[in-house]
Chain A
Amino acid sequence: MSIEEQIIENAKEGKVLTHKCTSCGHLHLSTVYYCQKCGSKGFEDAILDGTGSIATYTIITVPPAGFEKYTPYAFAVLQLDNSELRISGFMGGIATPDDLPVGTRAKITGFDERGIIIEKQ
Chain B
Amino acid sequence: MSFVEKVCVLGAGSTKYGKLADSIADITTQASVAAIESAGIDPKEIGASYISNVFGIADKQVHIGPVLMSRLGIPDKPSLTIESACGSGSVSFREAYANIAAGFYDCLIATGVEKVTHTGTEWTTTYFAYCSDFFYEGQAGASFPGLFASMARAYLTEFDATEEDFAAVAVKNHDNGVLNPKAHMQKKITVDDVMNSAVVASPLKLYDCCPFSDGASSVILCSEKFAKEHGGDYVEVIGSGRGGSPAALQGREQMTTIPSTKIASEAAYKMAGVTAKDVDFAEVHDCFTIAEVVDTEDLGFFDKGQGIQAIREGRTKLNSDISINPSGGLKSKGHPIGATGIGQVVEVYDQLTGKAGERTVKDAKVGLTHNFGATGASCAVHVFQSV
Contact = CB atoms under 8 A, between A and B. Distances in A.
B209 to A, nearest CB: 9
Interface of B: 121-123, 125-126, 129, 135-143, 145-147, 149-154, 157, 198-204, 246, 248-251, 255
A84 to B, nearest CB: 9
Nearest to B130: A64
Nearest to B145: A62
Nearest to A79: B250
Interface stretch (A18-26, A39-47, A53-61): A53-61
Contact of B137 (A61, A70, A88, A96): A88
Contact of B143 (A64, A87, A102): A64
Chain A contact patch, size range:
20 to 34
B135 A77 contact: no
B201 A64 contact: no
Contact of A56 (B145, B154, B248): B154
A14 interface: no
A93 interface: no
Contacts of A34: none
Interface class of chain B by DSSP: helix
Contacts of A116: 136, 140
B201 A62 contact: yes
Nearest to B248: A88
A56 B143 contact: no
B250 A62 contact: no
A90 B145 CA distance: 15
Nearest to B205: A61
A61 B200 contact: yes
B202 A58 contact: yes
Given A62-B201, A77-B250, A88 B157 contact: no
Interface in A73-93: 73, 75, 77, 86-90
B202 A86 contact: no
A7 B135 CA distance: 10
A43 B165 CA distance: 45
A97 B202 CA distance: 8
B309 to A, nearest CB: 21
23 contacts: A4-B135, A7-B135, A56-B150, A58-B149, A58-B150, A58-B153, A58-B202, A60-B143, A61-B200, A62-B145, A62-B200, A64-B126, A65-B122, A65-B123, A65-B126, A73-B141, A75-B142, A77-B249, A88-B136, A90-B140, A115-B139, A115-B141, A116-B136
Given A29-B136, A63-B125, A114-B140, 15 more contacts: A55-B154, A57-B150, A59-B201, A60-B200, A62-B143, A63-B141, A65-B126, A70-B141, A75-B140, A75-B147, A86-B251, A88-B136, A88-B140, A102-B157, A115-B141
